[in-house]
Amino acid sequence: MTSMKTCLITGGGGFLGSHLCGRFIDRGFRVIVVDNFLTGNEKNIEPLMGHPAFELIRHDISLHLRIPGPVHYVLHFASPASPLDYLQFPIQTLKVGALGTHNALGLAKEKKAVFLLASTSEVYGDPLVHPQPEEYWGNVNPIGPRGVYDEAKRYAEALTMAYHRTHKMDTKIIRIFNTYGPRMRLRDGRAIPAFLSQALTGEPLTVFGDGQQTRSLCYIDDMVNGIESLLLSKVNEPVNIGNPDEISMLELAQKIIKITNSSSRIIHKPLPVDDPKVRQPDVRKAEKLLSWDPKVALEDGLKLTVEYFKEALGKK
């Protein structure tokens, strides 16, 4: 056990974090999860609970944390991540982006560990450059309702780079674009869980505005591959990871109705404040530096996700 590399994942009970736990356990790592389950779900990591290389620490990373023994990698994924969550928990979102990142970086510094920050495409705000390359500084409303998430992540990036430059730490910043797949919460406020839950229960699918706003959707397996590649690389500057195939929200709703063979209709509601009109990653840096590109087509990923949602909704 002592020869095992140890990977600590804050927010490991969440959608993305739990998939990373499984990946690193499979790779032969010891995995420590730090989560207060504000938005995570303990069921996501239930299958790992009895594993000898897995440990759960119930803790809010916004508060100081000491970990005995060696830690080789710190992955900071703790944060409300959907609009529904960060609008409900604005102060917690800001605190985990600021204090939580500070504590996670401090732990990585103490352990001489590699640090990876889960940042987001939301640092680009409602972009004026399309697609979004890492060099783009973004168009963010700092005092709007979405600003609590956008600015928390922008601050977290600045803090991570400050630790990299000042303390010569090996830090990574991944800018995650919309990701989907099994273990997403059924109604977490994001498009795919909302559309799938509505389609499978016969409710109308809610499309905001005229539905022409776009997103680029990356299946969870592709995202985990990208995160692992970045973590184990020599790259320290921010890297976009996401699927560059762009789709409008109206087209996505229509596709989900077709895949689920639903009789649901589409209704339109007003566009939320500061909702980005476009979202598409420029992934040339990931392709060049990490030899990474997404493999799972949207249709295939959606079919796998539908099966999970059917089971979760008791529709199987």
Alpha helices, H only, the chain? 15-26, 83-88, 90-95, 101-111, 147-167, 191-201, 220-231, 249-260, 284-290, 298-312
Q: Contact, 40 vs 106, CB < 8 A?
A: no
In a domain, 21, yes or no: yes
Is the N-terminal amide bond of 131 cis, ω within 30° of 0?
yes
**Beta strand 205-208 with 214-216: parallel, antiparallel or unpaired?**
unpaired
In a domain, 139, yes or no: yes
Q: For the domain that residue 267 is a member of, what is the CATH number?
A: 3.90.25.10
Residues 127 and 150 in one domain: yes
The boundaries of the domain holding residue 126 are 6-179+218-241
Based on C-alpha coordinates, what's the Rg of the chain?
A: 19
Residues 110 and 200 in one domain: no
Residues 131 and 211 in one domain: no
Residues 207 and 88 in one domain: no
Residues 260 and 127 in one domain: no
Strand-pairing partners, residue 30, are 6
**Number of structural domains the chain divides into:** 2
Residues 75 and 187 in one domain: no
Cα–Cα distance measured from residue 61 to residue 165, given in angstroms and rounded to the nearest whole number: 23
In a domain, 286, yes or no: no
In a domain, 31, yes or no: yes
Would you state the structure tokens that stand for residue 114, as one six-digit string?
């590699």
N- to C-terminal Cα distance for the chain?
A: 41
List Cβ neighbours of 190 (8 Å cut-off, separation of 6 or more): 82, 83, 84, 178, 180, 184
Residues 224 and 265 in one domain: no
In the residue annotation, 149 being an active-site residue is answered as yes
Write out pLDDT tens, residues 11-56.
999 999 999 999 999 999 999 999 999 999 999 999 999 999 999 9
Q: Name the nearest CA neighbour of 250 among 210, 202, 277, 204.
A: 210
Q: For the domain that residue 107 is a member of, what is the CATH number?
A: 3.40.50.720
Would you state the structure tokens that stand for residue 118, as one six-digit string?
């889960």
pLDDT at position 34 is: 98
Residues 201 and 300 in one domain: yes
In a domain, 288, yes or no: no
Residues 113 and 32 in one domain: yes
In a domain, 290, yes or no: no
Q: Which residues of the chain have pLDDT under 50?
A: 1
Residues 17 and 165 in one domain: yes
In a domain, 146, yes or no: yes
pLDDT at position 189 is: 82
In a domain, 289, yes or no: no
pLDDT at position 316 is: 67
Cα–Cα distance measured from residue 74 to residue 114, given in angstroms and rounded to the nearest whole number: 6
pLDDT at position 315 is: 81
pTM to 2 decimal places:
0.96
Cα–Cα distance measured from residue 110 to residue 310, given in angstroms and rounded to the nearest whole number: 45
Residues 122 and 193 in one domain: no
Q: Name the nearest CA neighbour of 41 among 65, 68, 21, 63.
A: 21
Cα–Cα distance measured from residue 154 to residue 151, given in angstroms and rounded to the nearest whole number: 5
Write out pLDDT tens, residues 153-193.
999 999 999 999 999 999 999 999 999 999 999 888 899 99
Q: Name the nearest CA neighbour of 71 among 115, 7, 157.
A: 7
Amino acid at 313: L
Return left, alpha or beta for 247; rule: phi > 0 is left, psi -120 to 50 is alpha, else beta.
Answer: beta
Catalytic residue among 149, 163, 180, 219: 149
Residues 69 and 122 in one domain: yes
